[in-house]
Amino acid sequence: MSGVDDHGPLTDDPRNSRDTFDRLRHLSLELGRPDRAGGSLPPELSMGMSNDFEIAIEAGATIIRLGRTLFEGLDA
């Protein structure tokens, strides 16, 4: 396993994602403990999308998804 992923809840308020992202960060740290099989480094933490990526970064995301932020409104 190289990481964990969470898209967060579907909500209009990105702050509602904070608790979910914090819990995933704690899980990621637990999985990366040296006494765990394969542990020694925390796994990649993929969470957050265009609507809540700032909250995800604050919570420790190492990977974010920004498709809509980058491509919305561009001609195909």
DSSP string, 9-72: ---S-GGGGHHHHHHHHHHHHHHT-TTSTT-SSPPEEEE--TTTHHHHHHTT-SB---HHHHHT
Summarize pLDDT for 12-66 with one digit per residue, the tens: 898 999 999 999 999 888 877 767 666 666 678 999 999 999 999 999 999 999 9
Tell me, what's the pLDDT at 62?
93
Tell me, what's the pLDDT at 76?
65
Whole-prediction pTM: 0.78
